[in-house]
């Protein structure tokens, strides 16, 4: 009756959007964490500078790797494919 796709794939722009929004949140917390622990806002800025680049790249590849995996995904099938078996 309905033609449902059986494979879900996350597109690259979605992965990039997730990286950007996640990095905004983590950048703020890293800055304040470095500042509070050292008492120096420049240390917080140094922590952010390093973490922003390294962790963004790692997170992107982590997301793409999970996207390539079917682990934990349930694949829905339409009624037509069930009756054809």
CB 75 within 8 A of CB 5: no
Q: What pLDDT was estimated at residue 22?
A: 84
pTM across the whole model: 0.54
Q: What does the pLDDT profile of the chain (85 residues) look like in tens digits?
A: 555 555 677 788 888 898 789 889 989 999 999 999 999 999 999 999 998 889 888 988 998 998 888 887 776 666 555 555 5
Q: What angle do CA 70, 76, 78 make, to 5 degrees?
A: 145
Quote the CA–CA distance of 41 and 56 in Å, as a whole number. Answer: 22
pLDDT at res. 77: 65
- Residue spans of the domains in the chain: they are 12-67
* Residue 50, both tokens: 């390093």
């Amino acid at each position: 009756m309905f033609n449902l796709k059986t494979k879900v794939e996350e597109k690259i722009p979605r992965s990039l959007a997730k990286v950007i929004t996640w990095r905004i949140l983590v950048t703020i917390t890293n800055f304040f964490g470095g500042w509070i622990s050292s008492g120096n806002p420049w240390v917080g800025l140094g922590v952010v500078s390093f973490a922003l680049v390294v962790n963004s790249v790692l997170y992107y590849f982590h997301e793409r790797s999970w996207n390539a995996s079917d682990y934990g995904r349930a694949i829905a099938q339409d009624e037509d494919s069930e009756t054809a078996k």
